């Protein structure tokens, strides 16, 4: 490798690594803002949240990698153009295409690695992320007793304290409503102070109460209906109230229940799922055709079963007129009943067919997405590299603005076309590849303009052009 090629590779790698981790950090912040309600206030250990963020970062690679390639390529060639290093390279007899070759090889390796990542690592990360997020969302709120607020986290109990100690264990002014009895009559426990702690096996939460009273209402002692009730009041110097704490633990769900999801399959799994869904759709269509077609037949006898030949009857005018007048009402009612049956059966089949077809389309889109990530890296490199050579600006100013603008165009086209494909408006393969198809001519155009040293974004060029047009008009 020539020294100039090594220089370009080093100039590209440093901003790429920096921008990649910056973009990943921003996307992780968006992830935390999105799921903050599911994570805050549930008593998770720090490593659970860190594990969830790690799996989420794998899913964010599909956005972070193309944006980092685009931004770093603009910054690399922009800084080379700003420092006149690109001019020196061209004066040495190295064209822009030759200067881009080593970086192109790096992008090819990166694109191939991204394909392997999306086929082998990303499905497993999505599986881990989906199962862990399910457990996080279904975990009950941790038992957090706040001052002056009734806490209903424990089923069947409502607990309130006037004051908590600085150690987080001591309590004052305790009131407990016990609704666990089947009679529906609540028991009330009041204590001046107490402490709370967990058992050694973390199965129970224990409240040790001091100087309190317990109120309990019961029905009369007679076996028959008695409107009178008995009130029991029991004072205690010290007692313990035990609560089941096992429902507050997060139990990990078996990952096999999530393994059939589309985003958690590799290419082989997607092919199998696509074939199975196609067979199910065909069988559903055939069953609907047979079941609904039976309503449109005069009888269910096989054609040619009988030897009696009946001439074909030609109907003129309204069909109802061919029946005797006394039978028309019953015939009309029978026809309406059949129409209602057809509508009811087809309504269910249509909804079922839509769901299966949507899943079928999602499988085809996910299959193509494995290749789109690699293609997007190549496309955005051929947009960013010539764009940086044209604007001739390095750093984090104009290159960031241009990169974000082009990436937004790419992302909007990709999102809109993908949703159109899911709705069945366009072909799934065309929908997922639409952004690549639309922006490829732009990449070729920018590469050509950068090769011929076009002043495409030079403001002075356009000012002089407008000034020359006004001079011609005055003449």
Please check whether residue 149 lies inside any domain of the structure.
no
The CA distance from 443 to 45, in Å, is 47
Question: Is residue 144's pLDDT more than 60?
Answer: no
Question: Is residue 251's pLDDT more than 60?
Answer: no
Highest mean pLDDT: which of 176-185, 259-268, 325-334, 409-418?
Answer: 409-418
Q: Are residues 361 and 388 in the same domain?
A: yes
The CA distance from 273 to 253, in Å, is 23
Give per-residue pLDDT as tens, 148-173: 878 776 777 888 888 887 776 788 88
Q: Are residues 238 and 270 in the same domain?
A: no
Q: Are residues 100 and 16 in the same domain?
A: yes
Lowest mean pLDDT among 148-152, 178-182, 188-192, 386-390: 178-182
What band does 341 get if pLDDT is binned at 50, 70 and 90?
confident
Give per-residue pLDDT as tens, 28-43: 888 777 776 666 655 5
Q: Are residues 231 and 369 in the same domain?
A: no
Please check whether residue 324 lies inside any domain of the structure.
yes
Phi, psi for 250 (deg, rounded to 5): -95, 110
Domain-terminating residue out of 216, 248, 280: 248
Q: 406-421 b/e with 16+ CB inside 10 Å = b?
A: bbeebeebbeebbebb
- More confident of the two residues 40 and 338: 338
Domain-terminating residue out of 208, 227, 248: 248
Q: Are residues 114 and 133 in the same domain?
A: yes
Which residues constitute the domain of residue 193?
157-248
Please check whether residue 313 lies inside any domain of the structure.
yes
Question: Is residue 142's pLDDT more than 50?
Answer: no
Helix (H) or strand (E) holding 195: strand 187-198
The Cα angle at residue 151 between residues 146 and 155, in degrees rounded to 5: 150
Please check whether residue 146 lies inside any domain of the structure.
no
Q: Are residues 190 and 235 in the same domain?
A: yes
Q: Is 340 helix (H, G, I), strand (E, B) or coil?
A: helix
Domain-terminating residue out of 248, 272, 290: 248
Q: Are residues 244 and 266 in the same domain?
A: no
Please check whether residue 144 lies inside any domain of the structure.
no
Residue among 410, 402, 434, 335 nearest 65 (CA): 410
Q: Are residues 339 and 244 in the same domain?
A: no
Give the tokens for residue 36: 């903050």
- Domains of the chain: total: 2
Q: Are residues 284 and 324 in the same domain?
A: yes
Please check whether residue 427 lies inside any domain of the structure.
yes
Lowest mean pLDDT among 139-143, 358-362, 453-457: 139-143
Contacts of the segment 6-15: beta carbons below 8 A, 24+ positions apart: 6/102, 8/76, 8/80, 8/99, 8/102, 8/103, 9/102, 9/103, 9/106, 11/76, 11/79, 11/80, 12/72, 12/73, 12/76, 12/103, 12/106, 13/106, 15/71, 15/72, 15/75, 15/76
Q: Are residues 264 and 345 in the same domain?
A: yes
Please check whether residue 377 lies inside any domain of the structure.
yes
pLDDT at 274: 85
Q: Are residues 161 and 130 in the same domain?
A: no
Instruction: Identify the DSSP state of 204.
Output: E
Mean pLDDT of the chain: 77
Please check whether residue 131 lies inside any domain of the structure.
yes
Q: Are residues 377 and 457 in the same domain?
A: yes
């Amino acid at each position: 490798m020539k020294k100039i090629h090594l220089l370009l590779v080093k100039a590209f790698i440093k901003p790429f690594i920096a921008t990649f981790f910056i973009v990943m950090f921003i996307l992780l912040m968006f992830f935390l803002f999105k799921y903050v309600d599911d994570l805050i206030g549930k008593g998770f250990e720090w490593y659970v949240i860190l594990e969830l963020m790690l799996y989420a970062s794998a899913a964010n690679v599909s956005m972070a990698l193309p944006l980092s390639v685009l931004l770093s390529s603009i910054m690399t060639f922009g800084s080379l153009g700003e420092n006149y290093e690109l001019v020196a390279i061209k004066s040495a007899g190295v064209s822009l295409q030759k200067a881009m070759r080593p970086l192109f090889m790096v992008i090819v390796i990166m694109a191939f690695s991204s394909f392997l990542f999306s086929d082998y690592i990303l499905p497993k990360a999505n599986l881990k992320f989906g199962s862990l997020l399910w457990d996080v969302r279904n975990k009950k709120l941790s038992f957090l007793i706040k001052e002056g607020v009734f806490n209903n986290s424990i089923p069947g109990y409502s607990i309130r304290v006037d004051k908590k100690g600085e150690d987080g264990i001591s309590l004052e002014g305790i009131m407990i409503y016990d609704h666990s009895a089947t009679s529906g009559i609540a028991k009330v426990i009041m204590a001046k102070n107490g402490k709370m702690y967990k058992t050694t096996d973390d199965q129970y939460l224990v409240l040790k109460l001091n100087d309190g009273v317990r109120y309990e209402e019961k029905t009369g002692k007679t076996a028959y209906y008695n409107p009178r009730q008995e009130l029991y009041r029991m004072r205690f110097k010290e007692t313990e109230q035990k609560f089941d704490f096992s429902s507050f633990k997060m139990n990990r769900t078996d990952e096999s229940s999530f393994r059939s999801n589309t985003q958690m399959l590799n290419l082989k799994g997607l092919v199998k799922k696509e074939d199975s869904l196609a067979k199910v759709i065909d069988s559903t269509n055939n069953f609907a055709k047979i079941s609904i077609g039976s309503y449109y037949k005069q009888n269910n006898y096989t054609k040619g079963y009988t030897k009696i030949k009946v001439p074909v009857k030609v109907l003129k005018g309204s069909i109802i007129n061919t029946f005797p007048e006394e039978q028309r009402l019953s015939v009309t009612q029978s026809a309406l009943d059949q129409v209602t049956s057809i509508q009811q059966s087809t309504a269910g089949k249509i909804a079922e067919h839509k769901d299966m077809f949507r899943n079928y389309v999602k499988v085809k889109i996910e299959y193509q997405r494995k290749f789109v990530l690699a293609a997007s890296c190549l496309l955005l490199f051929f947009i960013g590299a010539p764009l940086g050579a044209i604007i001739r600006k390095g750093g984090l100013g104009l290159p960031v603005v241009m990169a974000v603008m082009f990436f937004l165009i790419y992302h909007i086209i990709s999102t809109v076309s993908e949703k159109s494909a899911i709705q069945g408006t366009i072909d799934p393969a065309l929908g997922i590849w639409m952004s690549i198809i639309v922006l490829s001519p732009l990449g070729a155009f920018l590469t050509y303009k950068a090769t011929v040293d076009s002043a495409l974004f030079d403001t002075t060029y356009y000012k002089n052009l407008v000034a020359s047009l006004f001079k011609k008009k005055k003449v």
